[in-house]
Chain A
Amino acid sequence: MTIRPFLISIAGALLVAMIAFIGGTYSGGPMAAQMDRVAQAVVAKSGGAPIKARFTTRGGWPTRHPLLSGGEDVDEATRAKVAEAVASIPGVGGVSWADGSMVAESNVVPLTPMHCQEDVEALLQARTVRFEESSSAIDASSQELLDEVAAALRPCLGSIIAITGHTDSSGPEPGNLALSQLRALAVERALIDRGIPNDGLRARGMGSRVQVEGLLPTDPANRRIEFSVIATVPLAPTPVDTPGPR
């Protein structure tokens, strides 16, 4: 195959481009002016009087993609109405705002951070989960406290909650470690019985390793159960929440 047909094709393409440029420049101006007139009427009708639609590019060429500006004091619903009205004019392409974005008001309630850990700490500040002497059996008097702890932890479902058992330093450390672990497991069991899911709880014993600040290691107040939220699982949208294709 010779090079001639190829060169002819290229020449043809250049000719087409030139025709397009001349034709576009010649007719583009009146087309944009017509759309501008219609847009002004449409904007006024939609109640967005301060909003202006510009049908020229930054380089000054006529375009069918208007840039809307002004109307900063206009409410978002009216701005959306104006944008929609301008976009529906025959011949108009994509509508954009000069401020770069359209601020939309959402009906979604703003998320507040979960305070379950603080709530539980507040509960345990004045009270503590009591166990029978050298045992992991939870004292009957602590059942009500565990009800309240379970209620306080319920908003954190989906997070990982650590239950840590501590003892004072009296007695051998291996025994303290085992006892604190058993007590943490007992509290975990009690919370599961109260409806907290098993997979969100992690029980562990620290023995007498971690003492309360300002207390002597032998102080019985070191015998305690601590709760902490150690991981927060982000909520993933369910298939129902995910919008379908338009």
Chain B
Amino acid sequence: MPIWFELMILLLITYGVGIGIGWLLWGRGIVDDEGFEA
């Protein structure tokens, strides 16, 4: 397995975990302002 491929898998997993944690902490309570029309 090439080194760049291993690095890519590692970074994508880290990215996915970060996105998941971010969503859990902040993403769930956000009000969708773009759908609200005055």
Chain A interface SS verdict (over half): helix
Shortest CB distance B16–A (Å): 8
CA distance A28 to B6 in the complex (A): 11
Tell me if B11 counts as interface (CB < 8 A to partner A): yes
With A2-B32, A2-B34 as known contacts, state yes or no: A20 contacts B7, CB within 8 Å: yes
Q: B residues 1-31 with Cβ under 8 Å of A? A: 1-8, 10-12, 15-16, 19, 27
With A1-B32, A13-B15 as known contacts, state yes or no: A21 contacts B3, CB within 8 Å: no
Please determine whether B8 and A20 come into contact, CB atoms closer than 8 angstroms: yes
CA distance A9 to B23 in the complex (A): 11
Tell me if A54 counts as interface (CB < 8 A to partner B): no
Chain B interface SS verdict (over half): helix
Nearest A residue to B8 by beta-carbon distance?
A: A20
Tell me if A23 counts as interface (CB < 8 A to partner B): yes
Please determine whether B35 and A63 come into contact, CB atoms closer than 8 angstroms: no
Contacts of A13 in B (CB 8 A): 12, 15-16
Nearest B residue to A18 by beta-carbon distance?
A: B8
Instruction: Give the contact-size bracket for chain B.
Output: 10 to 19
Please determine whether A28 and B34 come into contact, CB atoms closer than 8 angstroms: no
Contacts of B35 in A (CB 8 A): 2
Tell me if A221 counts as interface (CB < 8 A to partner B): no
CA distance A20 to B10 in the complex (A): 9
Please determine whether A65 and B1 come into contact, CB atoms closer than 8 angstroms: yes
Contacts of A28 in B (CB 8 A): 2-4, 7
Nearest B residue to A17 by beta-carbon distance?
A: B8
Please determine whether B12 and A17 come into contact, CB atoms closer than 8 angstroms: yes
**What mask results when residues 221 to 233 of chain A are scored 1 for a CB within 8 Å of chain B, else 0?**
0000000000000
With A16-B12, A20-B7 as known contacts, state yes or no: A61 contacts B19, CB within 8 Å: no
Shortest CB distance A195–B (Å): 59
Contacts of A175 in B (CB 8 A): none
Contacts of A2 in B (CB 8 A): 32, 34-35
Nearest 8 A/B pairs, CB to CB: A24-B4, A61-B2, A28-B3, A20-B8, A24-B7, A20-B11, A16-B15, A20-B7
Chain A interfacial positions (CB closer than 8 Å to B): 1-2, 5, 9, 12-13, 16-17, 19-21, 23-25, 27-28, 31-32, 57, 59, 61-65, 93
Chain B interfacial positions (CB closer than 8 Å to A): 1-8, 10-12, 15-16, 19, 27, 32, 34-35
